[in-house]
Every structure is written in C-alpha cells, then in structure tokens.
Amino acid sequence: MEKALRVYAEMLRLVRRLPKDSRPYYAKYARENFVNYRDFDASDSKALDELFHRAYNHSLWVLNKYSVDESAAQKLKQVCFHG
C-alpha cells in the first residue's frame, strides 16, 4: 500500500509538469485508476509489479504527448521498479 501511495504521489507531481488545461483531466484519471485498484490483492507481487510498470509506461506516454522530458519521470521509475 505504501508503495502504491508513493507511485500515486509521483504521478501527481508529473501532472504538474503538463500544460495547465490538461492537468485536471490527468489528475482525475490517476486518482480514478488508483481508486479502481485499491482492492487489488497486495500479496500478488507479480501483478502489482505489472501494475506499477503499466503506470510508469503510461506516464511516459503522456509526458511524450505533451513534449515533457522523460527524465522528469526518473523518480517515478525508481519507485515503480526499485521500491
């Protein structure tokens, strides 16, 4: 649960780097996804790793869409892949 909250916090930090008019959409999108997965089986580490990997990849896609340097997601990458 703690790792999931750290991933969520990092995603919200990345949202702040997006253009102002797109921030509310992506902040809401991130929140809805984390709420949808809150009942996820925390004992299934492989599934959680896959979920974090997907969150990271989606974040990169959004950053690229808005021409934000991918290096901004370095901390998210650390949290997602190294705990």
Q: What is the pLDDT of residues 36-59, one digit of tens each?
A: 877 777 788 888 888 899 999 999
Average pLDDT over residues 18-37: 92
Q: Angle at CA 82, nearest 5°, toward 27 and 28?
A: 5
Measure the CA dihedral 10/11/12/15, to 10°. Answer: 130
Q: What is the pLDDT of residue 11?
A: 94
In the predicted structure, residue 35 carries a pLDDT above the cut 70? yes
Q: What is the pLDDT of residue 83?
A: 64
Q: What mean pLDDT value characterizes the chain? A: 90
Q: What is the pLDDT of residue 34?
A: 84
pTM of the model: 0.87
